[in-house]
Structure 1
Amino acid sequence: MGDWEGVRLHVVTGKGGTGKTTVAGALAMALAAGGRKVLIAEVEERQGLAQLFDVPPLAYEEQRVASAPGGGEVYALAIDAREAMHEYLAMFYRLGRAGRALDKLGFVDFATTIAPGLRDVLLTGKAYEATRRRTGDHFAYDAVVLDAPPTGRVVRFLDVTTSVSSLARVGPINRQANSITDLIHSPRTAVHVVTLLEDMPVQETADAVAALQAAHIPVGAVIVNQVRPPHLAARSLPAARRGRLDHDDVLAGLRAAGLPASDRVVGLLTREAADHAERTALEKTQRTQVDELGRPMYELPRIADGIDPTALYELADALAEQGAV
C-alpha cells in the first residue's frame, strides 16, 4: 500500500476549486489496482462522484462505479444524513419503520439542530462502519476514501465526535462517537490535503495541516493538483522573465517549425514567455512552502481536456508511481 500501509480510511480535503473530488477519485482508483475493493464516499450532497465517474446520481447504497487495473473494483456512496439517521435508529434502537415516521415529524432536523455535531457523526459514522465491516474473515473493503468538506471545515467535521461524546455521556450515541473518534485519531486514518501551487490554496493547506496536527488527527500527504510542465528550459527562464529572449533565436525557431515569423509574433511570444516564467517562479516559491510542511508530496498533472473516467486512470497511475499506494 505504498506510503500508507495500514491506513483503512483515507480522508481527502482541500480548498474549494483545487479538485479534491477528482483527487479522491484518482486515489480510490489507485488503491483498488491489483484486485482490491475500495469504497469512495461523499458527504456534501453535490453528486460530484457521479459526475466524475459518469454514472447516474448516487443513492444511499454502495454501487460499483469503476474497474481498476488488475481486477480491482471501486464502489461509491453518497452519504445522506437523513438516511444515516434512519439506519442508526434501526441499528441501535430497533425502531425500523418507526424511525421514518419520526422523520415525518421533523425529528432528524430537530436532532441535528439541538446537537449540531450529530449530523457530522452520522456522516462520519457511515464511513467508520464501512472501514470495519467484514465479509467472513476479510474486510468488505480494502480501503475507504472519504471525499470530505473543504479545509476550512474539515477539522470540525472530523473531530466533532468529541463534543457529541461529551453531550451524550452514556448509551449508543456515546459509544458510537467514541468509536469514530478512536478511528479518526488512529494510524488507520490519514487526511490528505489537495492544493494548487497558488498563494491562497497553499496558505489554506498550511493552516489545515497545523489545525489537524493540533487536533491530533493524522495528516497524510499534500497532493499538488493541476501541475503544468515548464515550456522553457530552466536556463532560459531568467531571460524570459525579464522579456529578454534572443529575438533572432525566436525567429529561427518559428521558421524551423513552419510558423509565421515576424517581429509582431516574436513580440507576442516574448510577452507570453515572460508571463510563463513569472508563473513558474511563483510556483517554485509555493512548492518550497509545501515542502516545508514536512509531509509526503505528490504531484498530479493538469489535464487540459478535462476530467473523465479515462483521465482518472492517468491520475491514479501518477499517484502509484510516486508511492502513494
Structure 2
Amino acid sequence: MSPSRSPHWPEVELHVVTGKGGTGKSTVAAALALALASTGKSVLLCEVEGRQGIAQMFDVPPLPYEERRIATGLPGPRGGAGTVYALHIDAESALLEYLAMYYRLGRAGRALDRFGVIDFATTIAPGVRDVLLTGKVFEAARHGRKKGTSSRAGAAYDAIVLDAPPTGRITQFLNVNSELAGLAKVGPIKGQADRVMTLFRSSRTAVHLVTVLEEMPVQETADGIADLRAARLPVGGVVVNLVRPRDLDAEDLRRAREDTLDRERIGADLAAAGVRLDPAPGQPEDGLLDGLLSEARDHAERRALEDRQREVVAGLDVPTYELPRLPGGLDLGGLYELAAALREQGMA
C-alpha cells in the first residue's frame, strides 16, 4: 500500500474523524486541522466527547463552550498560514443554547438546568443528545450564523474538523434521523435533524477513519466503512497511524524471523561502531548479542503482521495516508510534523 499523493477533498468543508480507541483519532483530527490551516484556511476543530483532548494537545487552558483561537498553521506554498479555532461541545450547553434560540427560554432554560431536567433529557434520549451535538457542528458550518450564541457571529470557516466518537458508534452518531425516528416525527428538533442530515450526506462532508496496522482496528475500520456506506454517509480516507520505520529490507527481515542472521558479522559491526558487548556480571558472554537478536526477531515478526494488515487496508478501495510513530512522543511540535505529512500526501 502506498499513501495517496494527490488532493482528494477540495470541496469538503466538514472533515469527520473517527477511529477505534487507541489508534490516535484525536491526534489525527488535530494534525488535520493544522494541515488545513497550513494551506491558508480558517479552520474550526471541534470535540464532542468531553475529554478536553484538544486543550491538552495544544497546551492551552480547558476549552469553554465557546470558539477560541488556539494555533496557526505553518506557512504553505500557496501563501500565508491560516488559523485554527477550537470548540468543546457538550450536550447540556448545546440544549440550553437551543432552547434560547428556538423557544426564547433564557433564564427558564437555566432554571431547568438547576433542576436536572437538562441532564435527564440528554441522558434518557441519546438520539436527542446526538442531534444537539451534531446540530452545533451544523451551526458552525453554515454562513450567517446566529448572534447571541457561542459562535463567532458572522464568521465563516473554510473547513471544520470534528473529532467524532469511535468507529463503533460513528454511523449511529451521524445518522441522527434514524436515531430520532421513534422520538420526534415533527417539530423543531426533527427539522434540525433533517438539516443536519442534508449536510452529512452531501459532498461537503467526508468521514475519515483512523487505524493502526493491527488486526482488530483494521477489521473495525472495514466494518465502519461498510456501515457508513449502508447509511449513505460519505466515506473519506483511511489514515494509518503510528507506522514503524521501514528501514530493513525483506531479506534481512526473513533472516531475523528465522534466527539465521550472521552473529559474527553483527558483533563485528557493533564493535566497529564502538558498542561494547562486555557481559554484565553473572551474564553469559554473548548475552547482550542474544538480546539484540531477539529484539530483531520480534521486530521482524511485527513487521510481517503489519504488512499483512497493510494489504487489507489497500483492499478497502479508499484513499490512504500514513503517519509515522514519533520516537519522542507527541507534543505540539510533533503535531506540526504530522500535519506536514498529511499536507505533503495531499489530504489538505
User: Quick check: TM above 0.5?
Assistant: yes
What residue is the counterpart of 2:322 in the other structure? 299
Distance 1:45 1:86 in 2: 17
User: 1:93, CA displacement in angstroms?
Assistant: 1.3
1:58 and 2:58 matched:
no
1:110 is displaced (CA, Å) by: 3.2
SS of match in other structure, 1:55: coil
State which drifts further: 1-10 or 77-86.
1-10
SS at match of 2:160: strand
Q: Which range is displaced more, 96-105 or 158-167?
A: 158-167
Aligned to 1:216: 232
Q: Secondary structure at the match of 2:72?
A: strand
Aligned partner of 2:282 in structure 1 is: none
Of 41-50 and 246-255, more deviation after overlay is shown by 246-255
Residue aligning to 2:137? 127
Which residue does 1:24 correspond to in 2?
29
- What secondary structure, in the 3-state scheme, does the structure 1 residue paired with 2:8 have? helix
Deviates more, 1:31-40 or 1:53-62: 31-40
* Contact 2:172–2:179 (Cα < 8 Å) also in 1: no
Q: Give the match for residue 178 of structure 2.
A: 162
Does the aligned pair in 2 maintain the 1:162–1:181 contact within 8 Å?
A: no
CA contact (8 A) 1:243 1:273 kept: no
Q: Deviations over 1:167-204 (max 9, x none)?
A: 32322212111000111111111111111111111111
1:73 aligns with 2:61: no
What does 1:303-318 correspond to in 2, within 5 Å? 303-318=326-341
1:96 deviates by 2.0
Q: CA deviation at 1:165?
A: 5.5
Distance 1:230 1:272 in 2: 16
2:262 to 246, 249, 267: 246
Residues 36 and 71 in structure 1, CA contact (< 8 A), matched pair in contact too: yes
Alignment RMSD:
1.8
Deviates more, 1:157-166 or 1:191-200: 157-166
Name the structure where helix makes up a greater proportion of residues.
1
In the TM superposition, residue 65 of structure 1 has moved relative to its aligned partner by 0.7
Displacement of 1:213 in angstroms is 1.0
Letter in 2 for 1:280: R
SS of the residue corresponding to residue 3 of structure 1 reads: coil
Quick one: distance in 1 between partners of 2:210 and 2:196? 23
| Structure 2 residue aligned with 1:226 | 242
SS for the counterpart of 1:319 is helix
Cα distance in 1 between the residues matched to 2:39 and 2:238: 24
Partner of residue 148, structure 2: none
Q: Which moved more, 1:83-92 or 1:165-174?
A: 165-174
* TM-score normalised by the chain length of structure 1: 0.95
User: What is the number of equivalent residue pairs in this alignment?
Assistant: 324
User: Secondary structure of 2:175's match?
Assistant: helix
Q: Please, which runs of 5 or more residues in structure 2 have no aligned partner?
A: 1-5, 75-79, 146-153, 278-284
1:241-265 CA-to-partner distances (Å, cap 9, x unmatched) read 1011012221221022111146333
What 5-or-longer segments of structure 1 have no aligned partner? Answer: none
- Number of the residue aligned with 2:150: none
Q: Percent identity?
A: 60
Evaluate the alpha carbon distance shift between residue 234 and residue 139 of structure 1 in structure 2; reply closer, same or farther with a 3 A threshold. Answer: farther
